[in-house]
Amino acid sequence: MKFLFTTAFLSAVLLSSISVSVNAQGFNLNDHKWKDRVLLIFSPNTYTHHYRDQVRELKSAKNGIQERDLKVYHILQESSASVKGEIIEGEETDPLLSEFDVSPSEYTVILIGKDGTEKLRTNETLSARRLFKEIDAMPMRKLEMKEKGEEN
> Tens of pLDDT along 43-87?
999 999 999 999 999 999 999 999 999 999 999 988 654 455 688
At residue 79, the pLDDT reads: 67
- Our CA angle for 150, 131, 126, nearest 5°, is 155
Name the percent of the chain lying above pLDDT 70: 76
Q: For position 80, what pLDDT does the model report?
A: 57
pLDDT beyond 70 at 116: yes
Query: What's the rounded Cα separation, in Å, for the pair 134 and 124?
Result: 15
* pLDDT reported for residue 131: 97
In this prediction the pTM is: 0.77
Task: Centre a 10 Å sphere on the Cβ of residue 100 and count the other Cβ atoms it contains.
Answer: 16
- Residue 27, SS3 per DSSP: coil
pLDDT of residue 16: 30
DSSP state of 68: T
All structural domains of the chain: 35-148 (3.40.30.10)
Do 102 and 108 contact (CB within 8 A), yes or no?
yes
- 108 neighbors 75 (Cβ within 8 angstroms): no
The model's pLDDT over 18-41, given as tens digits with 9 standing for 90+, comes to 222 222 246 788 899 999 999 999
Helix 128-136 / helix 139-148 crossing angle, nearest 10 deg: 90
